[in-house]
Amino acid sequence: MGRAVGIKEVAVAAGVSTTTVSHALSGKGRLPESTRERVRQIAADLGYRPSAAARSLASGRTGIIAMTVSGSEDFTVQVGDLDYFLQVINAATSTALERDYAVTLLPAHWSPETLARVPLDGGIVIDPVRNDPMVQALNGRALPVVTLGRQPDGPDDAPWVDNDHRAGARTMLDHLVESGATRVALLAAQMVSSYEADTLEAYTQWCTRHGVKPCVAQVQGGLSERAAYAETVKLLQGPTPPDAIYASLDRLALGALLGAGAQGLRVPHDVRIGACSESDESRRSRPALTALRLNPELLAAEAIDLLIDLIEGRPTSRQRVVPSVLIPRRSTVAGRQRVRRTVIAGDGAVSSAQTGAARV
């Protein structure tokens, strides 16, 4: 493996000074455009890449982006709690590297003193909560911050990337009714994030529009199948048990599957179950879970691109909505029923494509 090409090699090949090469590659200096383009082409042909240290000295930036999963004192979330978080972090890391930045993952329990010692250009906060401490810490350092999910109490122009969770909830609820449900319950986590609030709002409005009484169960504590199992059993043992459950997370839906089985109920014949997100576990469960595919890789890539645009001062769209897709599977579709995948676009519009008999 050969030695990396440096600025001196580019200067020799182009027959110019190293200062001219530096100005040509950085866009600085007063050079003829023809010279600038010729130097850039020679640098590209030679495989020249500026070092991270040189870029840092020239720009005053560190090339480091912080990322963390938010939470509250009463509701702590760990990265390993959901497959969704892992997909987001993996995609964010690879996207950042493509743009010559590195992502550092901050622990759930961090101190302002520790954070202050980390040289950062900006940060991404996943599922921010009200008065989010990480958002406040980054704002306090005058660093740009992008959130995956809206800040519940953030300004109207705060930069974020998200799905349309209201439209997603409406689409899932309609699917459950089309699958034969008449009493749909919502199984949700604590209302600390915007996606939970959006889902609850869409559910209550949907119930009003359909003339049915809302039935909402909230899990207590962390995001675990055990907590969802307990709430599901309470729902199913109630005086008017639901015949469908929409869980705001795949992990809660997996707990609902266990709860239904413990009550001797068949899914989907006796009770249908859908989830707001999916994972390997939800796809492999028996029956496989109908879910909203939130496209976490695309969410992460958009968040990284938006943050780097803000760091580097480029004009950009500060709020971006990523489409989600409803994937029907056996937890709501019985036999050889015809099924449709539904795309929920950023403007709330939906479109369906029939996928044939249910072999999902």
pLDDT at residue 108 above 80? no
Q: Which two tokens stand for residue 164?
A: 């349309």
Q: Do domains 64-162+297-321 and 165-293+328-357 have the same CATH topology?
A: yes
pLDDT band at 359, cuts 50/70/90?
very low
User: Hey, where are the domains in the chain?
Assistant: 7-50, 64-162+297-321, 165-293+328-357
Mean pLDDT of 116-143: 90
Query: So what's the architecture of 64-162+297-321 in CATH?
Result: 3-Layer(aba) Sandwich (3.40)
pLDDT mean across residues, the chain: 86
Least confident piece of the model among 29-33, 205-209, 278-282, 308-312: 29-33
Cα 102–Cα 105–Cα 111 angle in degrees, nearest 5: 125
pLDDT at residue 346 above 70? no
Give the chain as a 3 state SS string: CCCCCCHHHHHHHHCCCHHHHHHHHHCCCCCCHHHHHHHHHHHHHHCCCCCHHHHHHHHCCCCEEEEEECCCCCCCCCHHHCHHHHHHHHHHHHHHHHCCCEEEECCCCCCHHHHHCCCCCEEEEECCCCCCHHHHHHHHCCCCEEEECCCCCCCCCCCEEECCHHHHHHHHHHHHHHCCCCCEEEEECCCCCHHHHHHHHHHHHHHHHHCCCCCEEECCCCCCHHHHHHHHHHHHCCCCCCCEEEECCHHHHHHHHHHHHHCCCCCCCCCEEEECCCCHHHHHCCCCCEEEECCHHHHHHHHHHHHHHHHCCCCCCCEEECCEEEECCCCCCCCCCEEEEEEECCCCCEEEEEEEECCC
What per-residue confidence (pLDDT) applies to 360? 42
Question: Of 1.10.260.40, 1.10.150.570, 1.10.1240.10, 3.30.413.10, which CATH number belongs to 7-50?
Answer: 1.10.260.40
Q: What percent of the chain has pLDDT over 90?
A: 59
What per-residue confidence (pLDDT) applies to 18? 82
Domain 165-293+328-357 adopts which CATH fold? Rossmann fold (3.40.50)
Least confident piece of the model among 24-28, 211-215, 256-260, 304-308: 24-28
pLDDT at residue 320 above 80? yes
What per-residue confidence (pLDDT) applies to 83? 82
What per-residue confidence (pLDDT) applies to 54? 53
Q: Which of the given ranges, 100-109, 190-199, 278-287, has the highest pLDDT on average? A: 278-287
Q: Say how far apart CA 162 and CA 151 lie, in whole Å.
A: 11
pLDDT band at 6, cuts 50/70/90?
confident
pTM: 0.80
Mean pLDDT of 158-177: 96
Q: What percent of the chain has pLDDT over 70?
A: 86
What per-residue confidence (pLDDT) applies to 160? 97
